[in-house]
Chain A
């Protein structure tokens, strides 16, 4: 158990819908990362937050948005869902958010868009 929690574990929804994925980092960690794992794209970085501020952005679609709250938990919002958004979404965290720091991954949320 990495100490990073994600809810829900599974999510099944329809095209065009909107969902919210939630992540709680390890105790003491200030930085949260979101990654997407799909069959065709592999594991890809979406976005990073540090202490409530956006720190880095990857190839995150405009239909996707995220935020980190004062209690340091983070939410990833996915809207106007398409079949291709079906994937495993991981959250990771670490203390300092820098390039030298190990990242610890949550168990993931498996999203299925029908």
Chain B
């Protein structure tokens, strides 16, 4: 069985401040890791993913996440946030083997960026 823990349910920050959203996972098998974002009144959108290779992955809008196998973490960071980054962020894992890549999600972190 797999599980995902997002350590902060809410993170309020001021515009242009750096932010880190924490994610830890538990799994007995190798995993793929994902961050999804849900803007108000919209569906889930993939923000970034780690499948293999470089442990640092980046999104097109300035977010990055680093896979740390020893600490079983996949924290999401952005050096300077914008008001438009206000959303709920979900960390998720799936098995890297087999045929069912079902996602196991954390409970989400609500990022609120204030002016």
Same complex origin of A and B: no
- Give the interface of A toward B (CB within 8 A): none
